[in-house]
Chains A and B, each alone.
Chain A
Amino acid sequence: MNPILVYIICFPFTAIVGMLVSWIDRKVTARLQWRVGPPLFQPLYDFVKLLGKETIIPKGSSKITFLLAPLFGLVAATFVSMLVWTAILWPEKSFGGDLIVVLYFLMIPSLAVIIGGFASRNPIASLGASREMKLMLADELPFLLAVFVAVIKAGGAIRLGQLIAYQQTHGWVFLSASGICAIIVAIITMQAKLTLVPFDIPEAETELMSGVFVEYSGPPLAIFKLTRMMMLFTLPMVVVVVFLGGMHFQGISILWSILKYVVLLVLIILIRNTNPRLRIDQAVRFLWGPVTILGVAAVVLAFLEW
């Protein structure tokens, strides 16, 4: 298969799988609450419906920023997915430093939410955006520490392809004392990056209604929703590549590869369904306290080659 083809089908593929994954999320949540849950095409119906609705731009808001913010998020999510899939399919073709590019692009969907929230000139949206900003400051450091562990293990590799190649010869990063600490940190920060319970503070529906999205309607809202669905697929994929040895598609290892992602997804859904929401101060204290300490411990262990 040609890399150019991957660049072209990357967006539709990520979007479709993202919708499927978000349906699994909703369905499993429903089953855990002893309900039936939405039909398979529910995320698609939601998306098409939102595309057909009227777009309302609030009076006095910054019009261009308000409308462009969702697009930035979508582009960044697509880009991360593309880099990760290129590295998975052709580990030798990824360029030097693409791990750093991926880490930067993973921040942009959150940044887009912040920009959109502030641009919509609504007190609730501003409050949500400021919470999202604090949450981002809190979760970036532990996440970087966790990824740093894998980089140390692989001898300073900052190429996704190199990380995958290292794990093929030396076993997964996960299978070591430092790796276990790092993946725990990564799973917790992943929850915060996806703003799911217990870290859904920016859009806490019981206190902020829908927080940052409160003024969005129609197609821009649809794009925000799609970005979140795509991130639910892409972010665990990054963790799979960094800690669990990437994915391989020869024979029976296809199932094994999919299982890695599914286990991470199930963990996310279970954490989401068994926890109450934290306050923003509790979340920052939690992420900068125990989680960062665990991250630092993982880095130290990695330096000691454990």
Chain B
Amino acid sequence: MGIKLKALTKSPWVYHLSTGSCNNCDIEILDCLTPRYDLERFGIVLVGSPRHADALLVTGNMTMKCIPRAKEVYEQMPKPGVVIAIGTCALGHGVFDGSYVMPKTVDEVIPVDIYIPGCPPKPEGIIAGVAKLLAMLKQKA
């Protein structure tokens, strides 16, 4: 397990999974990948297929329709992989709390490794969260 996790911390490829968000967090994630923040320094690349992903960036409320799809995408990601929940909606439901179309939060559907709060979180906040997760994985490896 050691070397696998160590290599994963050096090149985490991320897949962006939106489970019914208002698109604000998604725009902030895209901001992270722009030349200004340059996540390729850490080997982070946005990939188009969950089969290539090492980290799922989950945003949004996890609506009822999204629950089976989110589960499927999580199963499609080859292990070892991590899940990062981004935004207040993904942590609890934020202002949508108590809505009848959102019976579960993200961490009740798929196991979440790190939570990044904010509505939306700043790109610096997302990068700091991911860096903390990578440091945690390095210790585990």
Contacts and interface: CB of A to CB of B under 8 A. Distances in A.
B117 to A, nearest CB: 28
A177 B40 CA distance: 43
A46 B12 CA distance: 8
Interface string B3-19: 11001101100000000
Contact of A46 (B4, B35, B43, B51): B43
Interface string A21-43: 00000100010011111110110
B76 interface: yes
Interface in B53-99: 54, 76, 78-80
B41 interface: yes
Interface in A170-212: 205, 208-210
Nearest to B76: A56
Interface in B38-54: 38, 40-41, 43, 47-49, 51-52, 54
A110 B3 CA distance: 32
Nearest to A216: B51
Interface stretch (A47-55, A92-100, A244-252): A47-55
A210 B78 contact: no
Given A35-B38, A210-B47, A214-B49, A46 B80 contact: no
A42 B43 contact: yes
A210 B7 contact: no
Nearest to B81: A53
A52 B8 contact: yes
B40 A37 contact: yes
A226 to B, nearest CB: 14
Question: Most A CB atoms within 10 A — which of B8, B49, B76?
Answer: B49
Contacts of A52: 3-4, 7-8, 80
Given A53-B79, A56-B51, A217-B78, A26 B8 contact: no
A91 interface: no
22 contacts: A35-B35, A35-B40, A36-B38, A37-B40, A37-B41, A38-B40, A38-B41, A39-B43, A46-B43, A48-B3, A48-B7, A49-B8, A52-B8, A53-B78, A54-B79, A210-B49, A214-B48, A214-B49, A215-B51, A216-B51, A217-B51, A217-B78
